[in-house]
C-alpha cells in the first residue's frame, strides 16, 4: 500500500498580516512573500503566526498560533458561546468594520469576476438591529454534548448530557448546549431552555445521534414582529403517549407564549424538516408577519425572509430599483412565497411569479387572497423549465424582471432566456455576490449595471445580500 506523502505545505508560517474578511468565518491573510492564506479565528488588522491545516486549489487554510499584533477594530464578543458555537463568527469585529468589509467583498466580486462597469455604487444598508434579528431558529436535541479541549483531558467530565443547541462543525453526533442565543427575538431562549428542563423532568428520552434511538430530536421556533410564536418539535419515533404528555405539559407551562404548536416525526438520517408531514396540535395553523402594508401567513414549512425588519428594507431597495409606476408587467423569478411579488403588486400592472417549491406557491396564493391582491399569478416548477418563449407569449414580455435566485445563482438556461426576453429593467437580488457577478458577466451582452446596493441581513456573519439594477443597452 502506498504511503501517504507529507503535506504539501509548511508546518508553520510567521508574520501573516490579515487584510480582510472572507467566507465562512475565515479571513484573508498574506505572508511577507505575498502568498494568500485563509485564516480562522482572526480579524483584519491582526498580524499572526499560523499553522496550515489544509490546501485546496493552491490556497492554504490555517489556524493562528501566535498573535504579534491585534486589530484596532476588535471588540469584545457579546455572546458567552462565541468561539465555540460558530454561529456568529464576526462578533469580535466592530459592526461598522463588518459593513465596510462586506461592501468591499461585493465591489471585488463585480470588479474581479464580472468585470462590468457600475454606474452608481450605493452605500451598504446596515441592519438597525445587530442582535435578536432572526425570526426562525432550528435547534438540535441530543443526549451527548460537545466537549472543549480542556474538558477532553478531564476524566471527571462526561459528555453524557441532555442538550438543546447547535452542532459543532465536524461533530455530527454532539451538540453545544446553548444557554442564551442572541439571534432570535421573542421568547426563544425561555422556550428552548424551559422545554429542555421540562423534558428532563418528564424523563423524555433525548435523541442519540450515534446509536439512533430516543424520542425528542429537534426544535424549531418561529417568531414575528407581531409578537406571535410558532413551535415545531420533531420526534424520532411516533410514541404518541410520550409525545402527547410532553406537548400538553408545554402548553400548560408555556402556552402564553405560543400562538401555534406543531410536531412531526423524523426517522430519517438527516435533520431536514421541510419534507415531513406537520401535525397541527394547538393554536392557529399559521403565524402572521407584516412587511410594509402586506400581511403574510406563515406555516411551519413556509419559506420567508429570516430577518423580517431588514427584509422590508431589502424589498424597499428592490422596489426603488424597479421604478414601478402602476402599469408595468412584472416577472418575479424564484418568488418563494411571493413576498417580493406581493410587496410590488400594489404599484404594478400585473406580477407573475415562478417558484420551484409547490408548497411555497400555495402560500403565495393564500397570501395574495389574504391581502386582496388580484393582480398576481403564480406558477410552481423550475424556472429554467417554465420561463420559455411560449410563457412570455402567454403573459406578455416583462417591462420589469425581478430575480432572486438561491446561492448557486441562475441556471445558464435562465440567463439565456433573460437575454431573449430583454426586459427594459432587470433587478437582480442575490445572497451570493460571486454567483451574481458570474451571471452579470453574461448579461453584459445586452445590459448595463446602473445601480448596486448591498444590504446586510445577517450581522456578525459572512452572508451578504446585494441588489443590482440592470438596464437594457
**DSSP-assigned states of every residue in 189-217:** HHHHHHHHHHHHHTTPPBPBTTTTB-SEE
The 10 Å Cβ neighbour count of residue 303 is 16
**DSSP-assigned states of every residue in 105-122:** HHHHIIIIII---EEEE-
121 vs 103: CA distance, rounded Å: 10
287 vs 271: CA distance, rounded Å: 23
Cβ atoms 187, 219 nearer than 8 A:
no
Cβ atoms 136, 220 nearer than 8 A:
yes
> Which of left, alpha, beta for 305 (phi over 0: left; psi -120 to 50: alpha)?
beta
DSSP 141: E
**Per-residue buried b or exposed e for 98-121, using 16+ beta carbons within 10 Å of the residue's own CB:** bbbbbbebbeebbeebbebebeee
473 vs 274: CA distance, rounded Å: 42
166 vs 142: CA distance, rounded Å: 10
Residue with cell 408531514: 277
381 vs 129: CA distance, rounded Å: 35
The 10 Å Cβ neighbour count of residue 187 is 18
Instruction: Give 295's strand partners.
Output: 290
Catalytic residue among 27, 181, 229, 431: 431
Cβ atoms 470, 449 nearer than 8 A:
yes
The 10 Å Cβ neighbour count of residue 473 is 9
What are the backbone angles phi and psi of residue 455, rounded to the nearest 5°?
A: -130, 125
Q: Is 431 a catalytic residue?
A: yes
Cβ atoms 330, 351 nearer than 8 A:
yes
Task: Return the active site residues.
Answer: 431
Amino acid at each position: 500500500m502506498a504511503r501517504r506523502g507529507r503535506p504539501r505545505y509548511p508546518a508553520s508560517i510567521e508574520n501573516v498580516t490579515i487584510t480582510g474578511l472572507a467566507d465562512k468565518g475565515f479571513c484573508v491573510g498574506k505572508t511577507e512573500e505575498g502568498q494568500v492564506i485563509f485564516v480562522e479565528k482572526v480579524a483584519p488588522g491582526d498580524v499572526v503566526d499560523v499553522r496550515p491545516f489544509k490546501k485546496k486549489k493552491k490556497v492554504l487554510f490555517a489556524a493562528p498560533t501566535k498573535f504579534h499584533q491585534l486589530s484596532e477594530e476588535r471588540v469584545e464578543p457579546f455572546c458567552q458561546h462565541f468561539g465555540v458555537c460558530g454561529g456568529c463568527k464576526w462578533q469580535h469585529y466592530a459592526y461598522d468594520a463588518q459593513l465596510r468589509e462586506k461592501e468591499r467583498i461585493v465591489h471585488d466580486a463585480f470588479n474581479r469576476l464580472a468585470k462590468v462597469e457600475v454606474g452608481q455604487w450605493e452605500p451598504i444598508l446596515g441592519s438597525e438591529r445587530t442582535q435578536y434579528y432572526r425570526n426562525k431558529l432550528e435547534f438540535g436535541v441530543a443526549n451527548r454534548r460537545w466537549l472543549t479541549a480542556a474538558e477532553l483531558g478531564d476524566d471527571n467530565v462526561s459528555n453524557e448530557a441532555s442538550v438543546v443547541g447547535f452542532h459543532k462543525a465536524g461533530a455530527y453526533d454532539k451538540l453545544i448546549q446553548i444557554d442564551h442565543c442572541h439571534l432570535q427575538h421573542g421568547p426563544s431562549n425561555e422556550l428552548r431552555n424551559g422545554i429542555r428542563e421540562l423534558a428532563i423532568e418528564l424523563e423524555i428520552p433525548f435523541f442519540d445521534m450515534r446509536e439512533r434511538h430516543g424520542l425528542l430530536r429537534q426544535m424549531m421556533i418561529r417568531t414575528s414582529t407581531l409578537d406571535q410564536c410558532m413551535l415545531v418539535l420533531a420526534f424520532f419515533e411516533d410514541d404518541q403517549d410520550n409525545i402527547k404528555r410532553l406537548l400538553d405539559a408545554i402548553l400548560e407551562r408555556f402556552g402564553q407564549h405560543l400562538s401555534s404548536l406543531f410536531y412531526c416525526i423524523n426517522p430519517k438520517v438527516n435533520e431536514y424538516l421541510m419534507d415531513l408531514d406537520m401535525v397541527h396540535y394547538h393554536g392557529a395553523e399559521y403565524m402572521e408577519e407584516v412587511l410594509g402594508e402586506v400581511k403574510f401567513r406563515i406555516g411551519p414549512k413556509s419559506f420567508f425572509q429570516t430577518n423580517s425588519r431588514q427584509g422590508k428594507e431589502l424589498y424597499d431597495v428592490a422596489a426603488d430599483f424597479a421604478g414601478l409606476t402602476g402599469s408595468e408587467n412584472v416577472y418575479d423569478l424564484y418568488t418563494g412565497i411571493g413576498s417580493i411579488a406581493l410587496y410590488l403588486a400594489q404599484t404594478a400592472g400585473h406580477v407573475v411569479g415562478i417558484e420551484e417549491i409547490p408548497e411555497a406557491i400555495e402560500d403565495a396564493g393564500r397570501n395574495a387572497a389574504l391581502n386582496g391582491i388580484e393582480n398576481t399569478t403564480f406558477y410552481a416548477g423550475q424556472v429554467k423549465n417554465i420561463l420559455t418563449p411560449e410563457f412570455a407569449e402567454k403573459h406578455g414580455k416583462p417591462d420589469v424582471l425581478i430575480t432572486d435566485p438561491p446561492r448557486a445563482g441562475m441556471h445558464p438556461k435562465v440567463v439565456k432566456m433573460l437575454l431573449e426576453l430583454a426586459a427594459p429593467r432587470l433587478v437582480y437580488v442575490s445572497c451570493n455576490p460571486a454567483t451574481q457577478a458570474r451571471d452579470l458577466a453574461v448579461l453584459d451582452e445586452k445590459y448595463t449595471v446602473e445601480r448596486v446596493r448591498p444590504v446586510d441581513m445577517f450581522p456578525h456573519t459572512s452572508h451578504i445580500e446585494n441588489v443590482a439594477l440592470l438596464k437594457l443597452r
